[in-house]
Structure 1
Amino acid sequence: MGHDAGADDVVICELEALDLRLEPGRWAFEDEYGARIARHWDAACRANPALFNGRVLMMTRCSLAGGRLEGGLVEASFAAFLAWRDWGFPDAGVVNCFGSAAILSADGALLYGEMAPHTANAGLVYPPGGSLEPCDADARGRVDMARAIARELGEETGLEAREARDEGFVAVREGPRLSVAQRLRFPMSAAGLVSRIGEHLDAEAEPELARIVSVAALTADEAGRMPAYARLLASALAI
């Protein structure tokens, strides 16, 4: 039932406009496979007790064309998302749309994070960011991607998006994954950013990131742990 991304599934484009909306209704996949999802979640928690079954937004309607992204999202459990991911994306009509912070230094480096061992993506290397959540939607249901990215950036790195120059959004769609990356150019060197983020990680009891790294300085092993969308994003940013 899975879906593997091929060449025709990859889209990379500059975004000039985003219109994302939280819509009423439930995710049919979660309702149909509720009991199986619960069993999968129990097994996942036995393997990693640090997992938390929060609420996320899944994109059930997506249009990406002409520099414009439009989409409708519904609320779902993280357990359902994890099952969908681990089972090979069986609901092909749904897209995992998430925000990514493309941290750019004053001296031209792109920084990615290595996920900590207690996370669901332990060891993977990609931009700080994460799933959209219900709190990212306003009272009218409009989902604010920039706010979501700023939230994740602060939680994971201690950086504030307002410190950086906003250089626009880039969309990277790779099969069922859609990363909306915001270029954030900080007025600090790569070494200064790595040091500052490292201090934040050291102060956290359970940081989401094990460390922050410059993409240009990755070892072959570290580069091999980048998801496809993260490699595509780095290529699009000419890093």
Structure 2
Amino acid sequence: MTASPVEILPARRIRLVETALPELSGRHRSAMDRAWEEAVRANPALFDGPVAALTGLERDGADGLVLSWARATYRYRALRQVPDAPAYASLFVSVAQPADDGRLTVGRMAPSTAAPGRWQLPGGTVEPPDHGAELDLMTLRAHAARELAEETGSETPADALTPWLTTLGGRGNVGVMFTAPPRPAEELYDRYAELVKTETARGRDPEFDRIELLGSTADLESLDGPHVDYLRPVLGAYTHA
């Protein structure tokens, strides 16, 4: 877990505005490409797919946010390794999937992922829509439902997910979080086990190599590895509510 503070933003309304990706100097672009190539050599599972990079965040009254984003690819994250280069923050979605006893589902990222061994809520980085299509809260909800199914095996209709809160990390990363309807704990484990069985039969590794249910921030100490910076404050907010 990083030491960066995470701010919980009580955003009831979210508006997303597409912007142009700021231009990079030739020096920064070359350094970014070199850093990305080094990262791929270290982890061949990385891919330079499309991603929605966060370019700005503004408050919209007491309960709203305006998130500006631009079309980029994963290699732009390598700019974080380049001195004096502009850094692009990440925009991601997450799902608080509770068991019927109130505990939340967390998963450990598999060795083949970009963050092996890291614990987090089900979710992932937001991908841009097709050109001409709009990125809005409905799109984020659908993306969150897809991530929940792909990582845990729990298929939940997008319209059953409820917007909950937004997090702002120390690096400027923003996470839009939803809550899912509770399921029996045994069912959550069974659905995950079935997902692992199916993915293994297809010759693929699941994105989570393990899941756990956490009932409080104290349970974080039982996790065998680091966890994302937002997990402690989000878990605290959920158990407090």
Q: Same fold (TM over 0.5)?
A: yes
Determine the structure 2 residue equivalent to 1:231.
232
The Cα of 1:22 is off from its aligned counterpart by 2.6
Q: 1:123 aligns with which of 105, 117, 122?
A: 117
Once residues 32 and 76 of structure 1 are traced to their aligned partners in structure 2, the CA distance between those partners, rounded to angstroms, is 18
Structure with the larger strand share: 1
Please show how residues 31-180 of structure 1 align to structure 2 within 5 Å.
33-64=28-59, 66-81=62-77, 83-86=78-81, 91=86, 94-135=88-129, 139-143=132-136, 144-162=139-157, 165-175=160-170, 176-180=172-176
Once residues 119 and 159 of structure 2 are traced to their aligned partners in structure 1, the CA distance between those partners, rounded to angstroms, is 22
**TM-score, reference length from structure 1:** 0.83
| AA matched with 1:156 | E
**Percent of aligned positions with the same letter in both sequences?**
28
User: 1:198 touches 1:212 (CA, 8 Å); kept in 2?
Assistant: no
Any unmatched runs of 5+ in structure 1?
A: none
Superposition CA RMSD, Å: 2.7
Once residues 196 and 59 of structure 2 are traced to their aligned partners in structure 1, the CA distance between those partners, rounded to angstroms, is 35
User: 1:12 touches 1:170 (CA, 8 Å); kept in 2?
Assistant: yes
Provide, for residues 184-221 of structure 1, a one-character-per-residue CA deviation record: whole Å limited to 9, x for no partner.
123x2122202211210232112111111112385625
Q: Structure 1 residues 15, 129: closer, same or farther in 2, change over 3 A? A: same
Once residues 159 and 35 of structure 2 are traced to their aligned partners in structure 1, the CA distance between those partners, rounded to angstroms, is 40
The Cα of 1:181 is off from its aligned counterpart by 0.9
Q: How many residues align?
A: 228
3-state SS of 1:75 partner? strand
User: 1:62 touches 1:95 (CA, 8 Å); kept in 2?
Assistant: no
Provide, for residues 37-93 of structure 1, a one-character-per-residue CA deviation record: whole Å limited to 9, x for no partner.
111121111111111110101111212452212111101110112x1345599536x
| AA matched with 1:20 | L
Once residues 179 and 88 of structure 1 are traced to their aligned partners in structure 2, the CA distance between those partners, rounded to angstroms, is 25
User: 2:109 touches 2:119 (CA, 8 Å); kept in 1?
Assistant: yes
User: 1:164 touches 1:185 (CA, 8 Å); kept in 2?
Assistant: no
Any unmatched runs of 5+ in structure 2?
A: none
Once residues 206 and 239 of structure 2 are traced to their aligned partners in structure 1, the CA distance between those partners, rounded to angstroms, is 29
